[in-house]
């Protein structure tokens, strides 16, 4: 499974390498109904070629029409779709939504290609970066990103966009809760990977858009299945699945690690992980158990909601007592 924004950058790099100017569009912010999250990308050429998505339809058509007519000659241009603030844009988004987009006019030169290669490595999970873009000059630089924070930050005359691999949810084992988590996570823009070697459990399971790996989650994790933008959750109540996944997950940079179970079950699991898995206090502190926010959840859907809400809390850098 390849993240759409990674495909955008790879195609933009190919176009630039063949001498074509590229317009790179980045979603900066959304208000109301908007199907693409901040940081989402689209790239296009003057010849009408394009890849990626900003809104899922109407915005792309309007942008390409303007580009073909000679718009966006500046190094950078800020466009607002919806809300009526851009006199050249007459697009109305569903439910009164508003979409702010950064349009960068990138010449086909070595500096741009080096910049795109760095973005490619970040989106492939090799590192995390911050794109720092000056307004209105379009001067850009890349900074190391070692923190959790908003995807886009606006500063006086500058924009900062965090770039990393696709947000990934790795489900360690299948269960009814895992199924709903997968569906919720896809709606939130996560890449979802389900790992479970139990053929009898997976029989008849239908999860469109989810990558299903019929092997132990711990093996997938051990072989590099997690990066810094991965949330690992174990929801089976099967120690053979859950415990081994936790042992491997704490050795990765995953930003969220959680396992389902009551407080009593969690205490027993932590004792096993310390005794059998050799995990110390620092490793155990990375595991959230019981998993999720305390919403009084009972049904699979309610538990999944609590899990995804907690993942979003951690991803956005919020402490539990801040809620």
Q: Are residues 197 and 308 in the same domain?
A: yes
Predicted pLDDT of residue 200: 94
Position of tokens 């950058």? 9
What's the whole-number mean pLDDT along residues 146-163? 84
Q: Which domain holds residue 136?
A: 4-163
Q: Are residues 47 and 154 in the same domain?
A: yes
Predicted pLDDT of residue 3: 72
Q: Are residues 145 and 287 in the same domain?
A: no
Q: Which strand (E) or helix (H) includes residue 42?
A: strand 41-45
Strands 168-172 and 50-52: unpaired
Q: What percent of the chain has pLDDT over 70?
A: 92
Predicted pLDDT of residue 248: 96
Distances (CA, A) of 16 to 23, 39, 109, 140, 156: 10, 21, 7, 17, 30
d(CA 220, CA 217): 5
What's the whole-number mean pLDDT along residues 35-53? 88
Examine the pLDDT at 90 and tell me if it is beyond 60: no
Residue 189 in tokens:
């823009």
Predicted pLDDT of residue 125: 75
Q: Which of 95, 128, 163 is the last residue of a domain?
A: 163
The CATH number that applies at residue 245 is 3.40.50.720
Predicted pLDDT of residue 89: 52
Q: Which of 104, 132, 163 is the last residue of a domain?
A: 163
DSSP-assigned beta bridge partners for residue 261:
none
Whole-number average pLDDT of the chain: 88
Alpha helices in the chain (DSSP H): 4-17, 58-68, 110-123, 176-187, 199-202, 217-220, 239-249, 263-275, 281-285, 300-315
Q: Are residues 94 and 148 in the same domain?
A: yes
Q: Are residues 201 and 139 in the same domain?
A: no
Predicted pLDDT of residue 1: 44
Q: Are residues 99 and 214 in the same domain?
A: no
Predicted pLDDT of residue 33: 54
What's the whole-number mean pLDDT along residues 15-36? 85
What's the whole-number mean pLDDT along residues 45-66? 87
Q: Are residues 183 and 91 in the same domain?
A: no
Name the residue among 172, 169, 171, 205 with its Cα closest to residue 189.
Answer: 169
d(CA 176, CA 95): 33
Number of compact structural domains in the chain: 2
d(CA 109, CA 232): 40
Q: Are residues 111 and 228 in the same domain?
A: no
Q: Are residues 261 and 292 in the same domain?
A: yes
Strands 230-234 and 256-259: parallel
Q: Name the least confident of 69-83, 111-125, 146-160.
A: 146-160
Predicted pLDDT of residue 87: 43
Examine the pLDDT at 88 and tell me if it is beyond 60: no
Sign of CA dihedral 216, 222, 225, 231: positive
Q: Which is more confident, 49 or 98? A: 49
- How would you label 1-24 residue by residue, b for 16+ Cβ within 10 Å and e otherwise? eebbbbebbbbbbebbeeebbbbb
pLDDT digits (tens, 9 = 90+) for 195-236: 999 999 999 998 988 999 999 999 999 998 888 889 999 999
Q: Which of 128, 163, 198 is the last residue of a domain?
A: 163
Residue 160 in tokens:
């900062």
Q: Are residues 56 and 202 in the same domain?
A: no
Q: Which is more confident, 316 or 255? A: 255
Q: Are residues 114 and 191 in the same domain?
A: no
Q: Are residues 175 and 278 in the same domain?
A: yes
Cis omega (within 30 of 0) for bond into 130 = no
Examine the pLDDT at 32 and tell me if it is beyond 70: no
Predicted pLDDT of residue 239: 87
Predicted pLDDT of residue 55: 78
Instruction: Please provide the size of the chain in residues.
Output: 323
Q: Which strand (E) or helix (H) includes residue 29?
A: strand 22-31
pLDDT digits (tens, 9 = 90+) for 259-270: 999 999 999 999
């Amino acid at each position: 499974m390849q993240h759409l924004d990674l495909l955008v950058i790879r195609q933009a790099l190919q176009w630039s390498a063949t001498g074509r100017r590229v317009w790179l569009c980045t979603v900066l912010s959304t208000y109301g109904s908007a199907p693409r999250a901040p940081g989402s990308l689209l790239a296009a050429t003057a010849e009408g070629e394009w890849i990626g998505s900003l809104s899922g339809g109407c915005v792309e058509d309007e942008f390409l029409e303007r580009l073909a007519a000679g718009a966006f000659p500046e190094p950078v241009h800020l466009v607002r779709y919806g809300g009526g603030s851009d006199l050249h844009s007459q697009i109305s988004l569903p439910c009164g939504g508003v979409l702010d987009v950064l349009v960068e006019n990138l010449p086909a030169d070595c500096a741009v290609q080096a910049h795109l290669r760095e973005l490619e490595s970040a989106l492939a999970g090799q590192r995390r970066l911050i794109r720092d873009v000056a307004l209105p000059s379009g001067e850009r630089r890349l900074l190391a990103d070692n923190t959790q924070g908003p995807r886009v930050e606006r500063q006086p005359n500058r924009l900062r966009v965090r770039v990393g691999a696709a947000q990934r949810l790795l489900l360690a084992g299948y269960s009814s809760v895992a199924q709903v988590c997968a569906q919720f996570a896809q709606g939130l823009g996560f890449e979802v990977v389900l790992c479970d070697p139990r053929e009898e459990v997976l029989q008849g399971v239908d999860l469109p858009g989810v990558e299903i790996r019929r092997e132990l989650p711990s093996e997938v994790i051990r072989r590099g299945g997690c990066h810094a933008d991965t949330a690992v959750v174990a929801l089976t109540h099967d120690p053979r699945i859950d415990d081994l996944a936790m042992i491997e997950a704490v050795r990765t940079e995953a930003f969220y690690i959680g396992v389902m179970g009551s407080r009593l079950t969690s205490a027993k699991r932590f004792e096993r992980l310390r005794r059998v898995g050799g995990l110390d206090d620092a490793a155990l502190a990375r595991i959230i158990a019981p998993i999720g926010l305390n919403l009084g959840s009972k049904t699979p859907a309610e538990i999944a909601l609590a899990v995804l809400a907690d993942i979003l809390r951690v991803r956005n850098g919020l402490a539990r007592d801040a809620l």
